[in-house]
């Protein structure tokens, strides 16, 4: 199977059964998930995973990585005769970075196991009730999806958690698991479970599962040094799938298996260092049908421009529309969510008839790490189920989540690392579907485009003026078009004014805006390394930042405390330098 087999670059020209999967499993893929033929990634990965080799899969977002590991695991588990049962404990462990991804993988697994009722799926994750999880583990879960912290907790404290028959450990979105600071937990988990253990059930000589080799699988759309390290400690002589052939030119690939020759296990580290996604000059795999654009907006007009683009999208598209907007902080999500839930606007071109409705007429959802577990779950499921809706979120939704039919990704706050850009836009244009992405940049941040360009990502400019001109200007004459800058556009001015008076009128909104302002500025200071050169805090005009939260002026105490914090941080950094761990925490404190 080669990449060129698929005529459309997405699907392979073969069947699931030709890859070696059992026939009723192939039927499940078709009937329950609607998968007629495998994607290219699945066609490459499934035979290799079936063969029992350790595997590293690096393929673009939305190319079907989930089924590529679940199907072979189910294939092997349904073969056992007599059938496996709950009393045999856990055979496969899938580690994921977030709760939403945990639920998503669990739902796919449930569908695939419909005909294999004796193979029990389950999940454990932060936020859930521990004792209920303990009870489920005691009964036995054959394939377990877990977030790392909670899994480690149960490995240490739930003695009835049976894992002596563990045969597979899967790291889905491996780089994100590590970026979230779970590196230590992962090492502890591997220490408890045995990282590359040769055979399972060593301690139980009479087990009928004796003799199977442990198989670890690592999957990610982007790779980095930390994944490289995890691969080194968890994978044994791995097969690498989906790596850019040209870039990994030192690899000796066996054409029939895709397996790297003898050098691979020895030179694995250096292989990784030359991988596309880990090298600063490497290119990312982005869906070719994705239309990527940027919009250049001065800080003070950001809010108006965001709202205008959303309004225009939801009103002009005849078809249903699903849009995801990414923010840098939880507070910013809360603020914009409340704003969109309350801010009203005249219904039609006759403002004198005072009839108002929500500025953007669509169902709006929010998702971030500070939300209560239950509301996080219902927002996730709600947005999933809608045909036309808006999701406001932090990077908690950037990885792996497969919301159906998302047409556009807006990165209102810039993503920082280019990998994050790739994962965010990866929530659209999945599996060959259409998709647009829009990145907001301030004039002083335009160098970020060059940073993306270095990774082969190039963006076109969004026709903002056309959109702004399309709005009716109540009480203002249409010919007033000789404005000197976008900030003086009559539509921008009138909408900004309306937003400011709405926020001023509502004490709760004012508080939300102030909180969002503060955490946004702190998040801006948390840009790291090279990016500090582009996102320079000292170039921020705090009065303009305040405008972007609908505040007439910068909250006074904020400016002072922000300056004091910045000075203190500088002093501390000079004195001892920041530890790596601290940097991760600072970054993720604001970006959950």
Ligand X SMILES: Nc1ncnc2c1ncn2[C@@H]1O[C@H](COP(=O)(O)OP(=O)(O)OP(=O)(O)O)[C@@H](O)[C@H]1O
What is the smallest separation between the CB atom of 63 and ligand X, expressed in angstroms? Answer: 4
Alpha helices in 455-541 (DSSP H): 464-469, 490-505, 507-525
Question: Measured from the CB atom, is 11 or 337 closer to ligand X?
Answer: 11
Q: Which is nearer to ligand X, 403 or 590 (CB)?
A: 403
Q: What is the Cα 298 distance to its own chain's centre?
A: 27
What gap in Å lies between CA 241 and CA 44, rounded to an integer?
A: 7
Shortest distance (Å) from residue 219 CB to ligand X: 7
C-beta contacts of 115-120 below 8 A and 24+ residues apart: 115/24, 115/27, 115/28, 116/25, 116/74, 116/77, 116/78, 118/83, 118/84, 118/85, 119/74, 119/77, 119/78, 119/84, 119/143, 120/86
Q: Residue 323 is encoded by which pair of tokens?
A: 């849009």
- Edge to edge, what strands does the sheet with 389-393 contain? 363-367, 389-393, 322-326, 408-411, 435-441, 290-296, 460-461
CA pair distance 518, 273, nearest whole angstrom: 38
Residue in the shown chain whose Cβ atom is closest to ligand X: 64
Closer to ligand X at the Cβ: 35 or 462?
35
Query: CB-wise, 192 or 431, nearer to ligand X?
Result: 431
Q: Which residue has the tokens 């066609």?
A: 43
Q: Residue 57 or residue 360: which is nearer to ligand X going by CB?
A: 57
- Please give the structure tokens belonging to residue 301: 């007009």
**Which lies closer to ligand X via its Cβ, residue 135 or residue 431?**
431
Least distance from C-beta 62 to ligand X, angstroms?
4
d(CA 235, CA 233): 6
CA distances for 299 relative to 394, 516, 522, angstroms:
20, 15, 16
CB atoms within 10 A of CB 307: 20
Whichever of 111 and 296 has its CB closer to ligand X, that residue is 111
Name which of 182 and 337 has its Cβ closer to ligand X: 182
Q: What residue ranges bind ligand X (CB under 6 A)?
A: 33, 35, 38-39, 42, 61-67, 221, 400, 402, 426, 430-431
> CB of residue 68 vs ligand X: minimum separation in angstroms?
7
CB of 304 to ligand X, least distance (A): 32
Q: Find the shortest distance in angstroms from Cβ 16 to ligand X.
A: 8
Q: Report in angstroms how near the CB of residue 339 gets to ligand X at its nearest.
A: 29
The distance of closest approach from Cβ of residue 39 to ligand X in the complex, given in angstroms and rounded to an integer, is 5
Residues sharing a CB contact under 8 Å with residue 249, sequence separation 6 or more, in sequence order: 274
């Amino acid at each position: 199977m080669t990449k060129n087999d698929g005529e459309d670059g997405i699907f392979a020209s073969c069947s699931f059964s030709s890859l070696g999967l059992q026939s009723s499993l192939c039927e499940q893929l078709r009937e329950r998930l609607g998968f007629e033929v495998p994607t290219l990634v699945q066609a490459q990965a499934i035979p290799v995973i079936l063969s029992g080799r350790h595997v590293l899969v690096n393929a673009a977002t939305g190319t079907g990585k989930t089924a590529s590991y679940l199907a072979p695991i189910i294939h092997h588990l349904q073969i056992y005769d007599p059938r496996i049962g709950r009393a045999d404990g856990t055979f496969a462990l899938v580690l994921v970075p977030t709760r939403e991804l945990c639920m998503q993988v669990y739902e796919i697994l449930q569908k695939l196991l419909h005909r294999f009722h004796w193979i029990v799926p389950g999940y454990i994750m932060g936020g859930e009730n521990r004792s209920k999880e303990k009870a489920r583990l005691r009964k036995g879960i054959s394939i377990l999806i877990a977030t790392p912290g909670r899994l480690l907790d149960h490995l240490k404290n739930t003695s009835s958690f049976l894992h002596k028959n563990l045969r597979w450990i899967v790291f889905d979105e491996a780089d994100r698991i590590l970026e979230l600071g779970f590196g230590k937990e992962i090492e502890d988990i591997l220490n408890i479970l045995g990282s590359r253990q040769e055979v399972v059930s060593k301690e139980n000589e009479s087990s009928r599962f004796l003799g199977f080799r442990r198989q670890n699988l690592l999957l990610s759309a982007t790779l980095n040094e930390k994944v490289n390290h995890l691969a080194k400690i968890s994978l044994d002589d791995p097969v690498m799938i989906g790596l850019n052939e040209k870039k990994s030119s030192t690899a000796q690939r066996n054409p029939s298996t895709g397996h790297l020759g003898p050098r691979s296990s020895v030179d694995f580290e250096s292989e990784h260092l030359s991988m596309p996604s880990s090298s600063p000059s490497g290119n990312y795999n982005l869906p070719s049908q994705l239309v990527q654009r940027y919009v250049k907006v001065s800080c003070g007009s950001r809010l108006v421009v965001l709202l205008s683009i959303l309004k225009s999208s939801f009103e002009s598209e005849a078809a249903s529309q699903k849009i995801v907007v990414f923010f840098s902080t939880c507070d910013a999500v809360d603020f914009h969510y409340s704003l969109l839930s309350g801010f009203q606007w005249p219904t039609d071109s006759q403002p004198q008839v005072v009839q108002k409705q929500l500025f953007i007429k669509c169902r709006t959802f929010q998702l971030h790490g500070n939300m209560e577990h239950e509301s996080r779950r219902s927002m996730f499921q709600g947005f999933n189920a809608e045909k036309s809706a808006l999701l406001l979120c932090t990077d908690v939704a950037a990885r792996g989540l497969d919301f159906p039919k998302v047409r556009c990704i807006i990165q209102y706050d810039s993503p920082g690392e280019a990998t994050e850009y790739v994962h965010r836009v990866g929530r659209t244009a999945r599996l060959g579907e259409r998709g647009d992405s829009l990145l907001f940049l301030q004039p002083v941040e335009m160098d970020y485009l060059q940073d993306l360009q270095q990774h082969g990502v190039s963006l076109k400019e969004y026709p903002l003026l056309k959109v702004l001109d399309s709005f009716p200007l109540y009480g203002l004459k249409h010919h007033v078009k000789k404005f000197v800058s976008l900030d003086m556009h009559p539509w921008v001015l009138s909408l900004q004014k309306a937003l400011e008076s709405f926020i001023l009128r509502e004490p709760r909104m004012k508080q939300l805006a102030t909180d969002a302002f503060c955490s946004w500025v702190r998040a801006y200071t948390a840009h790291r390394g090279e990016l500090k050169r582009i996102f320079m805090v000292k170039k921020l005009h705090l009065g303009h930042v305040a405008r972007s939260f609908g505040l007439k002026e910068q909250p006074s105490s904020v400016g002072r405390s922000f300056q004091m914090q910045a000075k203190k941080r500088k002093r501390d950094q000079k004195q001892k330098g920041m530890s790596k761990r601290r940097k991760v925490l600072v970054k993720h404190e604001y970006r959950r």
